[in-house]
Amino acid sequence: MGKTARETFRVPADLASAADLAAIDPRARPIGPRDKSTAAQELAELGERLDTLQEAHYAEATAGGPRAVLLVLQGMDTSGKGGVIRSVGGLFNPQGLRIATFKKPTDEELRHHFLWRVRRHVPTPGHIGIFDRSHYEDVLIARVDSLVPEDVWRRRYTEIAQFEAELDAQGITILKCMLHISPKEQLERLLARLDDPAKRWKHNPADIDARRNWPAYQEAYAEALRRTDTDAAPWYVIPSDRKWYRNWAIAALLAETLAVVDPRFPKPTYDVDAERARLAAGPTH
Amino acid sequence: MGKTARETFRVPADLASAADLAAIDPRARPIGPRDKSTAAQELAELGERLDTLQEAHYAEATAGGPRAVLLVLQGMDTSGKGGVIRSVGGLFNPQGLRIATFKKPTDEELRHHFLWRVRRHVPTPGHIGIFDRSHYEDVLIARVDSLVPEDVWRRRYTEIAQFEAELDAQGITILKCMLHISPKEQLERLLARLDDPAKRWKHNPADIDARRNWPAYQEAYAEALRRTDTDAAPWYVIPSDRKWYRNWAIAALLAETLAVVDPRFPKPTYDVDAERARLAAGPTH
């Protein structure tokens, strides 16, 4: 047996700085498919497994089970958060999916604790939540752009770890993926957005400002990963310069994670034979 | 040119009673594919059209456009509301989908006006909302089971029509589908749920009670359709004894409806060339 996706992509325990992050190759393919067409085939197979697991997960909650799954997606602009939602999120039955996109906080959100808006989107039992950006923005852009004083964002690492431990204790399995791209790949993707009239709406001039702060962001990511990688809420670094590899890797992580959750179809709370008899007795109209 | 799905499935203008509803064949295939494999192929093609239309619809809202689409699904138990969400909802990018399931109202919901909980789930601009059951339960089960006095549920037809006109005025395109099945098909599906251990969780003994009230429900549906079918929020009756035909019909309705909405990619609010220059000038790291 080769290594699992959970072992392979888990953030290195000794990751300490932006340099360590830069040492991870965004084009690496340490396990899994070597090319796009194999990846498409494997993704379809993973989709079937995810479908079965998700249905049992959803069914379990209808009988009162508390469990849910939360996938947190973080990454620089163009790293593919939207692409993962489309390609990997699209493998699930939308009934059991809950997507939450965290944009620039509103005035109301800013008047609350930074976790207030996040708590409102925690997936309910039986659901698979996907966070497109998350509370990690509050130690990323908030830090790089000095949106709050340093002592405030510094305190947040502990608050986040506590929050995630709390979710874990209530039955929510968390997996956090950093979509790791190279600055060169980002440049190409930003230019591609400007070139294609059907993609221009995705461009935000602020993305170029963020790009100029690349080293500061990588430092902020490195510290966030180091301070909040726990067994209850592990961080994975996903090589994301190749979109098809990124999608495969996250689908594989989800399939392994759901297999560990091991959801079960609930036992009926009614008498199956009695129900059959009631149906047989009823009017047929 | 043959008839469109919107023309074909629109509730007959002269539908007045349960007998008129019963006269619509739940196995009818008035237009479109004649068999399952053709339907699968056409559904995939519709999926590509829906994907393009949805992206423009989503993009339009990022520039401040107010428009959204709302698909309301109603039907007797096992008629396929969940199946439509899975098979038709699954054709969309989950990022732009908002599924809301309306179960038995909670105590808090019951303390509010019946539309209170519904308003909270109206899709935001750029999104496609799907209601799995809806405010129509308040003139269906509420009427059949006498959950409220007659004058209360009678008033609701007008309240619903006003509410939907309001949504239409704010830019929300509504389409309402009644998944029309025969009592015989329902019996087979209920028995199949009891036979398959992986489906037993879907069975609710109350479904058999509702089945016994089939004529009363059909009467309630007929009146709801007649009283609330408007050009702003049309009702469609979908022959649903064949799952593949039901899915194809609703996908076709959505594609036609989105084509009428005719969403547009917004014009950039920034200077494309200036942005290219900023990117070229920036550090490459």
Q: What is the DSSP letter of B197?
A: T
ipTM of the complex: 0.94
Mean pLDDT of the B125-135 span: 98
* Mean pLDDT of the residues in chain B: 96
Note the pLDDT tens digit of each residue in B138-169: 999 999 999 999 999 999 999 999 999 999 99
What is the Cα–Cα distance from A215 to A228, expressed in whole angstroms? 20
Q: Is the pLDDT of residue B127 over 70?
A: yes
Give the CA distances from residue B164 to residues B107, B121, B228, in Å, rounded to whole numbers and listed in that order: 25, 13, 9
Chains A, B: CB contacts under 8 A, how many?
A: 128
Q: Does B13 touch chain A (CB under 8 A)?
A: no
Nearest to B207 by CA among B220, B224, B189: B189
Comparing alpha-carbon positions, the chain B residue that sits nearest to A191 is: B276
Q: Does A102 touch chain B (CB under 8 A)?
A: no
> How many helices and strands, by DSSP H and E, does chain A display?
13, 5
Residue B275, helix vs strand vs coil: helix
Phi/psi of residue B171, nearest 5 degrees: 105, 10
Note the pLDDT tens digit of each residue in A248-279: 999 999 999 999 999 999 999 999 999 999 99
Sign of CA pseudo-dihedral B27, B32, B38, B40: negative
Cβ proximity of B105 and B141 under 8 Å: no
Note the pLDDT tens digit of each residue in B184-220: 999 999 999 999 999 999 999 999 999 999 999 999 9
Q: Is the pLDDT of residue B176 over 90?
A: yes
Closest Cβ opposite residue B270 in set A197, A205, A266: A205
What CATH number is given for B5-281 in this structure? 3.40.50.300
For testing contact with chain B, the best of A133, A265, A284, A285 (most B CBs within 10 A): A285
Q: Is the pLDDT of residue B14 over 90?
A: yes
Residue that is written with structure tokens 């008629």 in the block: B79
The percent of residues in chain B predicted with pLDDT above 90, rounded, is 98
B 197-226 residues inside an 8 A Cβ radius of A: 197-198, 200-203, 205, 208, 211-212, 214-215
Residue-level pLDDT at B213: 96
Residue-level pLDDT at B208: 96
Mean pLDDT of the B250-259 span: 98
Per-residue burial over A196-217, b if 16 or more Cβ lie within 10 Å, else e, is eeeebbbbeeebbebbebbeeb
What is the Cα–Cα distance from A240 to A255, expressed in whole angstroms? 19
The model's confidence at residue A282, banded by pLDDT at 50, 70 and 90, is confident
Check CB contact under 8 Å for A94 and B90.
yes
Nearest to B229 by CA among B84, B16, B4: B16
What is the Cα–Cα distance from B274 to B188, expressed in whole angstroms? 64
Residue-level pLDDT at A183: 96
Residue-level pLDDT at A157: 98
- Looking at B170-242, list the stretches that DSSP marks H as alpha helix, in order from N- to C-terminal side: 183-195, 205-212, 214-228
Q: What is the DSSP letter of B268?
A: P
CA atoms lying within 13 Å on the CB side of residue A127: 18
Structure tokens at B52: 């393009």
Phi/psi of residue A100, nearest 5 degrees: -125, 125
Check CB contact under 8 Å for A201 and B86.
no
Q: What is the least distance, in Å, from the CA of B280 to any CA of chain A? A: 9
The model's confidence at residue B282, banded by pLDDT at 50, 70 and 90, is confident
Answer CATH for A5-183+218-281 from 3.90.1150.10, 1.10.760.10, 3.20.20.60, 3.40.50.300: 3.40.50.300
Q: What is the least distance, in Å, from the CA of A23 to any CA of chain B? A: 14
Mean pLDDT of the A173-189 span: 97
Q: For residue A169, how far is the Cα from the chain centroid?
A: 19
Cβ proximity of A245 and A252 under 8 Å: no
Other residues' Cβ atoms within 10 Å of the Cβ of residue B86: 18
Measured CA angle at A210 (ends A204, A215), to 5 deg? 160
* Mean pLDDT of the residues in chain A: 97
Q: Is the pLDDT of residue B285 over 70?
A: no
The model's confidence at residue A41, banded by pLDDT at 50, 70 and 90, is very high
Amino acid identity for residue A240 in this structure: S
Q: Is the pLDDT of residue A1 over 70?
A: no
Note the pLDDT tens digit of each residue in B103-126: 999 999 999 999 999 999 999 999
Residue-level pLDDT at A87: 97
The model's confidence at residue B284, banded by pLDDT at 50, 70 and 90, is low
Residue-level pLDDT at A263: 97
